[in-house]
Amino acid sequence: MPVNAVKLVYFSPTHTTQRIVESIAQGMDIRPLSSLDLTLPPGANQTLEVDRDTLAIIGVPVYGGRLPVVAVQRLQWVLGDGGPAVIVVVYGNRAYEDALLELKDMALARGFVPMAGAAFIGEHSYSTTAMPIAPGRPDAEDIARAMAFGQQVRARLLQTSMVNLPPLDVPGHFPYKERRPAPASPPTPTTIADLCTLCGRCAAVCPTAAITVSETVITKATACIACCACTRACPTGARVMEDPRIRQTATWLYENHSARKEPEIFFGDRG
């Protein structure tokens, strides 16, 4: 199957998913390589068309066993032309449930032909030093696995054609897991005033433009997706997740899902 370029398409608030898809591409070693980062809000709606002879590597994190709603919305801007795609989800060591199937179905709907899929593990957004949940993931072993997966994808591309590409089957159920209804008062990060320098970094990395920085830091709760991009990016540690509901969830994850899980990869029925 002739592939003349690779396009990375990802939503990655804490850069974990980005690291995985970049490592897969590194293992493939196909040039030219370009990226479409869907993480930050655009200035205006856009459409990106991916040529038939370009391989798309599409990566999205898992939120509660599903794809984040905002990522689903932004993937609507991406349009394939019947070319191959590798679909990747990254989850925080609990379970990816229906997310990989959801991404496969969405890739098909947007004009791609999924030829391979993978579920990798990343440090959970709610992980802390006191309660680590998959700390440091993806680690060196994960990156090596991602690069090896990329090598396998390239080998498969050389061995087959779009006509003979076997269908990809991935875990998941349809209808997908029902999303939890949004609470009346969603949990959001807070700012420790004594530590905050009003640098604006939190607002700059927010995927939904939920943060405004002027004389204080204001978070629009209804827009916040609790991705923790701001808490990870804050240079002084002023942005924190102190909501008791988040801490309760983090404690449960730490107590029940701390055992190391390994990446899973999927090819068509011949692999």
**Tens digit of pLDDT for each residue in 102-152?**
999 999 999 999 999 999 999 999 998 899 999 999 999 999 999 999 999
**pLDDT recorded at residue 239:** 95
Residue 37, domain member (yes or no):
yes
Residue 255, domain member (yes or no):
no
**3-class SS of residue 156:** helix
The answer to whether residues 208 and 152 belong to one domain is: no
Pull the structure tokens for residue 56.
């798309």
CATH of the domain at 213: 3.30.70.20
- The domain tally of the chain equals 2
What is the pTM (predicted TM-score) of this model?
A: 0.94
CB atoms within 10 A of CB 187: 18
pLDDT, one tens digit per residue, over 153-186 is: 999 998 887 767 888 999 999 999 999 887 878 8
- Distance separating alpha carbons of residues 138 and 203, to the nearest angstrom: 25
The answer to whether residues 28 and 51 belong to one domain is: yes
The answer to whether residues 196 and 231 belong to one domain is: yes
The answer to whether residues 120 and 163 belong to one domain is: yes
pLDDT, one tens digit per residue, over 7-53 is: 999 999 999 999 999 999 999 999 999 999 999 987 655 678 899 99
Q: How far is CA 114 from the centre of its chain?
A: 17
| Per-chain mean pLDDT for the chain | 93
Better pLDDT: 231 or 1: 231
% residues pLDDT > 90 (the chain): 82
The answer to whether residues 126 and 229 belong to one domain is: no
Which residue range forms the structural domain that includes residue 73? 5-175+262-267
- Distance separating alpha carbons of residues 13 and 190, to the nearest angstrom: 18
Residue 253's pLDDT band (boundaries 50, 70, 90)?
very high
| Angle in degrees, CA 242, 15, 250, rounded to 5 | 30
182: nearest Cα among 213, 225, 132, 239: 225
The answer to whether residues 157 and 206 belong to one domain is: no
**pLDDT recorded at residue 163:** 64
Residue 1's pLDDT band (boundaries 50, 70, 90)?
confident
Total residue count of the chain as it appears in this document: 271
The answer to whether residues 159 and 206 belong to one domain is: no
The answer to whether residues 72 and 143 belong to one domain is: yes
CATH of the domain at 157: 3.40.50.360
Residue 254, domain member (yes or no):
no
Pull the structure tokens for residue 23.
């490592």
Residue 270's pLDDT band (boundaries 50, 70, 90)?
very low
Cα–Cα distances (Å) from 2 to 6, 141, 205, 260, in that order, read 12, 30, 37, 38
Cα–Cα distances (Å) from 43 to 10, 29, 65, 207, in that order, read 18, 32, 29, 12
Residue 256, domain member (yes or no):
no
Q: Longest C-alpha distance within the chain, in Å?
A: 62
The interaxial angle of helices 16-28 and 140-159, nearest 10 deg, is: 50
The enclosing H or E element of 212 equals strand 211-213
Across 115-130, b (16+ Cβ under 10 Å) vs e yields bbbbbbbbbbbbbeee
